[in-house]
Amino acid sequence: MDEIIGLLRQEIAIAEELEALLEQENKSLTGTSSGVEAVRFAGEIDGALRRFRKVRTAETACCVKLGVKNLQEVLERTSDRTKTQEVQSLSDALRGILKRAREIGARNRGLVERSMQYTEFNLNVMRQATAEGTYAREAAEASGMKPTVESRMLFDKDI
């Protein structure tokens, strides 16, 4: 039981780190920071998730070693009430941290998707621009004609 308590404490520490990283990533996505910072956070988040999975795997191996399927069965078979309460308390704390981390991750995912849609929109606008539009205006002005709305382009795809 002590081994499981230790593993739960490790999971909580990693989950808290993960939550903090996701919060920092959220600030970088909503602020004026560079994309390099967001990439750095993504790498750190990936590392925290790998460590979390490794501890989770150790917890599963510990359950198998005890001859049970999951943590709930360990709690049901343990007669020491203080240890059972401690494991239950740690498990509840971990569940709460992971729930908050998922919520922050969902917000971040939404921000990234909106950013990608905005970028895609801008790229589509640039793709639709024609070189003729930019130069037709100059040609119209040179010939003394009044430029039309169609000849006024925001972007030149040749640039």
| DSSP track, the chain | -HHHHHHHHHHHHHHHHHHHHHHHHHHHHHSS--HHHHHHHHHHHHHHHHHHHHHHHHHHHHHHHHT-SSHHHHHHH---HHHHHHHHHHHHHHHHHHHHHHHHHHHHHHHHHHHHHHHHHHHHHHHH--HHHHHHHHHHHHTTPPPPGGG--S--TT-
- pTM for the complete prediction? 0.68
SS3 percent helix, strand, coil of the chain, rounded to 5, is 80, 0, 20
* pLDDT number for residue 78: 82
Q: At 113, which amino acid appears?
A: E
Per-residue pLDDT of the chain (159 residues; tens, 9 = 90+): 788 889 999 999 999 999 999 988 888 888 766 667 777 888 899 999 999 999 999 998 988 888 888 888 888 888 888 888 998 999 999 999 999 999 999 998 888 888 888 888 888 777 775 545 445 556 556 666 665 555 555 554 444
* pLDDT number for residue 133: 47
Q: At 57, which amino acid appears?
A: T
Domains of the chain: 2-128 (1.20.58), 130-159 (no CATH)
